[in-house]
Structure 1
């Protein structure tokens, strides 16, 4: 069982399904990504580095693209979702827009490629 599978198994089925959808989309965009753990969070990694993590929180969910730049890039397209320097908070009924999510994941992939050459 992967880190992501273990994490999802501990959640309520509806919550796990929300997160599973985001990971499935990231894998469509970056098929080379793999489940892992970074900063004590289950996540998808790419070339050994954190690509994206989506976790259940007390008030909903948080998405972390492992950097502040991806969040800054799409902040004006988050449909009013609260964000921090490196993350976006959302709920099952008010989700991160797919185009913004895609852009964050692809930006993170490209950042890793630039760093590793």
Structure 2
């Protein structure tokens, strides 16, 4: 069982379904993504680096694209959802808009590709 599967299994079904939807969408955008764990959070990784993590919180959910820049770039598309330097907070009633999510996931993938290309 993967880290993401284990995390989802421990959640109420409705909560797990919200999170699973975001992970499924990320896998559509980045088919090479793999389940993993970074900073003690279940997440999807890409080329060994954190791509996106979506977790349950006391107030609802938080999404972390493993950097502050994707959150800053997506902020105008978030419809006023609260953000932190590196995350987006949302609820089952106010989900992250797809355009904002796609921007964050694709930015993270491209950033990872660029960083690894510089190492060659």
Range of TM-score over shorter length:
over 0.9
SS in 2 for 1:53: strand
User: What is the CA–CA distance in structure 2 between the aligned matches of 1:96 and 1:82, rounded to whole Å?
Assistant: 10
User: What is the CA–CA distance in structure 1 between the aligned matches of 2:7 and 2:70, rounded to whole Å?
Assistant: 24
4+ residue runs of structure 1 moved beyond 4 angstroms? none
In structure 2, runs of 5+ residues without a counterpart are none
Pair 1:77-2:77 in alignment:
yes
Residue 89 (structure 1) aligns with: 89
SS in 1 for 2:89: strand
User: What is the CA–CA distance in structure 2 between the aligned matches of 1:94 and 1:116, rounded to whole Å?
Assistant: 35
Residue 63 (structure 2) aligns with: 63
In the alignment of these two chains, the number of paired residues is 117
Residue 35 (structure 2) aligns with: 35
SS in 2 for 1:105: helix
TM-score by length of 1: 0.99
Q: For residues 69-106 of structure 1, what are the alpha-carbon distances to aligned partners after superposition, in whole Å with 9 as ceiling and x for unaligned?
A: 00000111101100000000000010000010000000
